[in-house]
Chain A
Amino acid sequence: MDKIKQHFIDKEEQVISISGLYKSFGDLKVLNGIDFTLYKGENVAILGKSGTGKSVLIKIIVGLLRPDRGEVFALGKPVHSLNHKDLDALRLRIGFSFQSSALYDGMNVYQNLAFPLTMNAKHLTKKEVDTAVEKVLDAVNLRNKKKQMPSELSGGQRKRIGIARTLILKPEIMLYDEPTAGLDPITSTEIIQLINEVQQRYNTSSIIITHDLTCARNTSDRTAMLLDGRFAKVGQFDEIFNTEDQHLKEFYNYNFIQ
């Protein structure tokens, strides 16, 4: 797949900056000194084995988990020390697409999409909500699924509705947790396209967590390799891919066999 990306990365503006981040659960050390910067307009893919703490890392970025040590700034705000109110305000500017899609299974697609909007902007009229829902459904190409329940959707469709649900709040940062995991190659390609479209249409900066090398190569401006709780390597995808490092090679070989 050829990717022609035409967007502007502003190296002057850091939307996320993390320094000296540590996190452990009991005796289990998960993150061991993460330093990382995400620039405006940029897509960064984070690669890493299962269980290395990729999900933990982005959950710390939105304040779902508290770091043991270290600083996390998102859009200039110190996530690690914000009070509830400021954290709420910050979270509205960050979209989080869950590994499991996390659609509300008691609501249909329309209600899933309208819910974050109506709960956060009570003054909106029914018509305005409708328009917003139509618009994001358009963006993820699922116009005809409004009435469906989440259990009636395929895995790829759920992922897309999950992404649409975050887009409805017009986020400045998107965090994708394994957007292509468990999907067939064709559906994966569609999701990859969607991620790139979102970057252009909504002008977001994104972190894409993935095991999937195709996804990493086709969505990212930079790629970072998470190994033993820290970033072993950060750079262009090809740079990282053509490494001689034994650990990294192991990961790629494993991926190819799959």
Chain B
Amino acid sequence: MYGDRIKKHIFTRRVDQFFRDIYDISKFFRTFFKEAFKRPFHFNELINQCYEVGYRSLPLITLTGFIIGIVFTIQSRPPLENFGASSWLPSLMGIAIIKSLGPLVTSLICAGKVGSGIGAELGSMKVTEQIEAMEVSSIHPFKYLVVNRILATTITIPILSFYCCFIALMGSFINVHFEESSSIITFYQNAFSTITFIDIIESTIKAVTYGFTIGFVGCYNGYNASQGTRGVGRAANLAVVYAMFIIFIEEILIVQIFTWIINS
């Protein structure tokens, strides 16, 4: 009997919490758009944050992008050769990398590197009262900390994504060059032969969406960190887990939407 009551209690509390979270998140979302277009704009801080995002993740993206390009090419070669279709390899790689792998790999790396950094940084500012300290000196912490960070990831991650595509194609080219000794120009021509303008748009939209997601989720978790040092670790952790989860859902949705657009 008691157990029943407690269970129900926990259940209603969960549901309660769920709706409260939805409310909080949508409020955070609205506040972001309201504050993003309001003066004052902190351009220096924005550039600073963009630099941080790029600086933190560039080496890892370079390495991962290159390896992914080369590994995918090596492993796709035998099945294509069985069909005598190894000349399609560059264009296959072009599609895979530009449409999907580039944005996805970049944003997963950034979720781990940048998202957790934002979560931890804002989380520790929250629990050590630095955010309140800004508030009492009439500096709007949401505008200064959150808006600039979300904008920074939204701007920088697409750039990183293009960079990642370029590096991955370079990796791919190296394998193709050793196997078939084709020139870099032929390789890129082949790689882009089936890529259309709408594919580039799709790739960009993906990267922008993921960039926004990483900044938003990181900031939301950090900014709402609960008191104590445990809250900081939790914020960083949640920032990564939720960002990755949401990115995969967005990937499916965007792919569906674009397939539908192209077909109609």
Contact = CB atoms under 8 A, between A and B. Distances in A.
B136 A94 contact: yes
B138 A98 contact: no
B122 to A, nearest CB: 11
Contact of A92 (B40, B124, B130, B138): B138
A195 to B, nearest CB: 18
Contacts of B144: 119
Interface residues of A, number: 25
Contacts of A109: none
A183 interface: no
Interface of A: 59, 62, 64, 88-89, 91-92, 94, 96, 98-100, 102-106, 115-116, 119-120, 122, 165-166, 169
12 contacts: A62-B136, A64-B135, A91-B138, A92-B137, A100-B129, A102-B129, A105-B124, A105-B128, A115-B139, A165-B133, A165-B137, A166-B137
Contacts of A122: 40
A121 to B, nearest CB: 11
A108 B136 CA distance: 20
Contacts of B121: 106
Contact of B130 (A62, A99, A102): A102
B251 interface: no
B136 A120 contact: no
B81 to A, nearest CB: 54
Contact of B128 (A62, A91, A102, A119): A102
A58 B144 CA distance: 24
B133 A64 contact: no
B173 to A, nearest CB: 41
A165 B139 CA distance: 13
Interface size, B (range):
10 to 19
B132 interface: yes
Contacts of A96: 133, 136
Contacts, number: 54
Given A91-B137, A105-B128, A106-B121, 18 more contacts: A64-B132, A91-B135, A96-B136, A98-B129, A98-B133, A99-B129, A102-B130, A104-B125, A104-B133, A105-B130, A115-B137, A115-B139, A116-B138, A116-B139, A119-B139, A120-B137, A165-B137, A169-B137
A250 B107 CA distance: 59
Nearest to A169: B137
Interface string B114-142: 00000001001100111011011111000
Nearest to B135: A64
Interface string B92-114: 00000000000000000000000
Interface in B121-169: 121, 124-125, 128-130, 132-133, 135-139, 144
* A-B complex: 10 closest residue pairs judged by Cβ atoms: A116-B137, A102-B133, A102-B129, A88-B138, A96-B136, A119-B139, A91-B138, A98-B129, A62-B136, A102-B130
A122 B138 CA distance: 13
Contacts of B124: 105
A124 B124 CA distance: 31
Nearest to B144: A119
A169 B132 CA distance: 16
Nearest to A93: B138
B137 A98 contact: no
A120 B130 contact: no
